């Protein structure tokens, strides 16, 4: 018997106009009366969800519209068919199309995790405390270019860049200052760092140790996605294969020692910002994820032991419905990959948990106040897509790092969405939309075609060595720019509704004293520490590089003894080589 209101593949076809009768109203499961609203012969799977929703915690006593109408937790077809359960299903259940938690934001809002970092560690510490005071619910750390590339402030390559596009961290005293008076056992911290990520992990653990925080309470996320660096962002130290060995060691250490730590945040964000399409972002990100899962397995880890701590990070661009569909397709495709390809049996291994950030590349220097509006609908798309945490960009980021007031407005954007829009009152409210379900299916199909092509090349590392994703992104970026320059793609303030005079806005300026202060502190640390101890630590790290032993323990011992990020990175350069971009065309 055909469903009265099917939201599955057979119905999710392109439609022209408003032809035909409207579908009957959907049935629903309400937290207040979940079973009474279902027919007696309702699918047992729906009844199980109803029971779970009835027992689930709720952040409000009742969810109502502005008119006072009760909003139920979940809306479903009256008579869902097999295709509905296979393709869309229920939240918190395989294939997770509708979300990774059964009650999503009714139980707990998404984490509002604003990216912050500039100047000295003390400067960023003050910004952290300001944002926490404004209602931010998680920390996210931006590092400067020398830190990202594995150089200390006293290196010649660092001149003029210290503290400019993020905060400067070189050694344990810097890291202690960064998190001064912030109890690491009570917050979750994200760190956007890749090539020297193993050093920042060790520094964070060492600070937690000094605070008396047990390993079982250290919670957060390390980006640590070196594959996307070779594809898009271009911040690396050593070639792909030794870089994957370092990540393998971190996976093993964190799986055994840090049960609440997300070892890798597999990142599509930078792939999209480099010019990829939404499908390319989805495909290359999941292909990277496949590479990391394979690395964990090759390290001897059971997939269900480490996969639950993998997380993701996606861009949220301007095409509203495409972005919503991308998140839904990503969850479904990843669940199938983990179950069918890797044999995962733990549902948490199949969950694609993701952070999202609004699209920095979509912001314009022209008419910068418009960026607030762009960020708002991008944030809305992320929430409707089911993100677990979100950063909203500030209006001034085309010019400089955000001012305090701009960062606060960006945070308020999320708070307004949560508190006033009603967008979090029901789970996956766009499910069943003919358009959204069609987009979800097509994005999954097209991303899977890319992944199969990468598999045929020998996997993502080999595809990167051949320059495949790099070339695909370059071509997409070129085509987009052609559309902008021809006027086919409109950007308000750039090629549409252009104004002669711009609106001046306040900007954040980094005092040159920042670099002088960080340089002086780095030199003092190197002068005051024990040379013999440092030499012993260097030798231990070098020996682990050569022997294949896990690198985390000697690096952790090294940072405890004030070995610097730059010194450890130099050992990697000497032992593993330095990667040079072949500039694929």
Q: Give the pLDDT confidence of 464-492 residue by residue, as tens digits.
A: 999 999 999 999 999 999 999 999 999 99
* Mean pLDDT in residue range 181-210: 97
Asked if the model's pLDDT at residue 24 lies above 70, the reply is no
Asked if the model's pLDDT at residue 12 lies above 60, the reply is no
- pLDDT bucket at 504, cuts 50 / 70 / 90: confident
Contact 28, 72 (CB under 8 A): yes
- pLDDT bucket at 208, cuts 50 / 70 / 90: very high
DSSP state of 508: -
Strand order in the sheet with 189-192: 261-262, 220-222, 189-192, 138-142, 111-116, 389-391, 354-358, 310-316, 264-267
Asked if the model's pLDDT at residue 13 lies above 70, the reply is no
Asked if the model's pLDDT at residue 413 lies above 80, the reply is yes
Asked if the model's pLDDT at residue 42 lies above 90, the reply is no
* Mean pLDDT in residue range 557-585: 93
- pLDDT bucket at 6, cuts 50 / 70 / 90: very low
Cα distance between residue 263 and residue 258, in whole Å: 9
Span of 5-9, 313-317, 337-341 with lowest mean pLDDT: 5-9
Structure confidence by residue, pLDDT tens digits, 130-156: 999 999 888 999 999 999 999 999 999
**Helix (H), strand (E) counts: the chain:** 23, 11
> Does this model's pTM top 0.85?
yes
Cα distance between residue 513 and residue 536, in whole Å: 34
Q: Are strands 220-222 and 261-262 parallel, antiparallel or unpaired?
A: parallel
Cα distance between residue 185 and residue 205, in whole Å: 11
Asked if the model's pLDDT at residue 122 lies above 80, the reply is yes
Structure confidence by residue, pLDDT tens digits, 84-104: 889 999 999 999 999 999 999
Q: What are phi and psi of 180, to 5 degrees?
A: -60, 130
Asked if the model's pLDDT at residue 110 lies above 60, the reply is yes
Assign 432 to helix, strand or coil.
coil
Asked if the model's pLDDT at residue 34 lies above 60, the reply is no
Res 364: pLDDT:
97
Cα distance between residue 198 and residue 206, in whole Å: 12
Residue percentage of the chain with pLDDT more than 70: 92
Res 51: pLDDT:
85
Cα distance between residue 218 and residue 208, in whole Å: 7
The domains found in the chain, sorted by start residue, are 1-107 (no CATH), 109-419+460-486 (3.20.20.240)
Residue percentage of the chain with pLDDT more than 90: 85
Structure confidence by residue, pLDDT tens digits, 289-325: 999 999 999 999 999 999 999 999 999 999 999 999 9
Cα distance between residue 337 and residue 286, in whole Å: 9
* Mean pLDDT in residue range 564-571: 98
Res 39: pLDDT:
56
Q: Which of 162, 136, 105 is nearest to 388 (CA)?
A: 105
Cα distance between residue 269 and residue 271, in whole Å: 5
- The angle at the Cα of 256, spanning 250 to 262, to the nearest 5 degrees, equals 55
Structure confidence by residue, pLDDT tens digits, 430-452: 999 999 999 999 999 999 999 99
Asked if the model's pLDDT at residue 37 lies above 80, the reply is no
Structure confidence by residue, pLDDT tens digits, 358-371: 999 999 999 999 99
Cα distance between residue 111 and residue 354, in whole Å: 11
Asked if the model's pLDDT at residue 162 lies above 90, the reply is yes
Res 47: pLDDT:
80
Asked if the model's pLDDT at residue 16 lies above 50, the reply is no
- pLDDT bucket at 176, cuts 50 / 70 / 90: very high
Could you give the residue ranges of the DSSP H alpha helices within 258-340? 269-273, 278-298, 303-306, 320-336
- pLDDT bucket at 389, cuts 50 / 70 / 90: very high
- The angle at the Cα of 557, spanning 554 to 559, to the nearest 5 degrees, equals 110
């Amino acid at each position: 018997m055909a469903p009265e209101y099917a939201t599955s593949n057979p119905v999710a076809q392109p439609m022209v106009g408003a032809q035909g009768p409207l579908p009957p109203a959907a049935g629903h499961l309400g937290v207040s009366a979940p079973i009474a609203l279902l027919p007696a012969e309702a699918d047992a799977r729906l009844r199980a969800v109803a029971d779970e929703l009835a027992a689930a915690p709720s952040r409000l006593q009742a969810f109502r519209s502005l008119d006072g109408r009760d909003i139920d937790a979940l809306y479903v077809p009256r008579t869902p068919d097999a295709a509905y359960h296979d393709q869309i299903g229920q939240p918190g259940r395989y294939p997770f199309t509708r979300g990774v938690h059964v009650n999503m934001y009714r139980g707990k809002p998404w984490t509002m995790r604003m990216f912050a970092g500039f100047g000295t560690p003390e400067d960023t510490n003050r910004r952290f405390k300001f944002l926490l005071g404004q209602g931010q619910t998680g920390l996210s750390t931006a590092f400067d270019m020398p830190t990202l590339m594995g150089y200390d402030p006293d290196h010649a390559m660092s001149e003029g860049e210290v503290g400019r596009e993020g905060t400067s961290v070189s050694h344990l005293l810097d890291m202690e200052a960064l998190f001064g008076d912030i109890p690491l056992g009570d917050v979750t911290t994200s760190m956007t760092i890749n090539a020297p990520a193993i050093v920042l992990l060790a520094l964070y653990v060492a600070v937690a140790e000094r605070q008396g925080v047990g390993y079982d309470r250290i919670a957060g996320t390390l980006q640590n996605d070196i594959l996307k660096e070779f594809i898009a962002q271009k911040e690396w130290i050593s070639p792909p294969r030794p870089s994957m060995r370092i990540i393998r060691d971190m996976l093993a250490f964190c799986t055994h020692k840090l049960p609440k730590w997300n070892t890798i945040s597999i990142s599509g964000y930078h792939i999209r910002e480099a010019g990829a399409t939404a499908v390319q972002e989805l495909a290359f990100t999941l292909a990277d994820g496949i590479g990391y899962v394979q690395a964990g397995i090759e390290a001897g880890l059971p997939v269900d032991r480490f996969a639950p701590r993998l997380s993701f990070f996606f861009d949220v661009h301007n095409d509203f419905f495409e972005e919503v569909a991308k998140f839904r397709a990503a969850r479904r495709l990843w669940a199938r990959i983990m179950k069918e390809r890797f044999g995962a049996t733990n549902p948490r291994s199949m969950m694609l948990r993701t952070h999202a950030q609004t699209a920095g590349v979509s912001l314009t220097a022209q008419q910068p106040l418009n960026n607030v509006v762009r960020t708002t609908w991008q944030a809305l798309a992320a929430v409707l897509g089911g993100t677990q945490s979100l950063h909203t960009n500030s209006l001034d980021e085309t010019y400089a790092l955000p001012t305090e007031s701009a960062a606060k407005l960006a945070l308020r954007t999320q708070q307004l969405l949560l508190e006033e829009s009603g967008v979090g009152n029901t789970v996956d409210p766009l499910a069943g939309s003919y358009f959204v379900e069609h987009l979800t299916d097509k994005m999954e199909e097209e991303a899977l075609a890319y992944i199969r092509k990468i598999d045929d090349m020998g996997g993502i590392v080999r595809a990167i060595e051949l320059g495949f994703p790099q070339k695909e992104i370059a071509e997409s970026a070129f085509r987009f720019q052609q559309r902008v320059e021809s006027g086919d793609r409109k950007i308000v303030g750039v090629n549409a509704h252009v104004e002669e005079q711009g609106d001046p806005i306040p900007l954040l300026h980094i005092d040159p004293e920042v670099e002088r202060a960080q340089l002086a502190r780095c030199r003092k640390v190197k002068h005051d520490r024990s040379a013999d101890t440092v030499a012993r630590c260097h030798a231990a790290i070098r020996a682990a590089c050569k022997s294949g032993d896990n690198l985390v323990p000697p690096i952790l011992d090294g940072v405890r003894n004030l070995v610097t990020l730059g010194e450890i990175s130099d050992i990697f350069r000497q032992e593993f080589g330095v990667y040079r971009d072949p500039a694929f065309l």
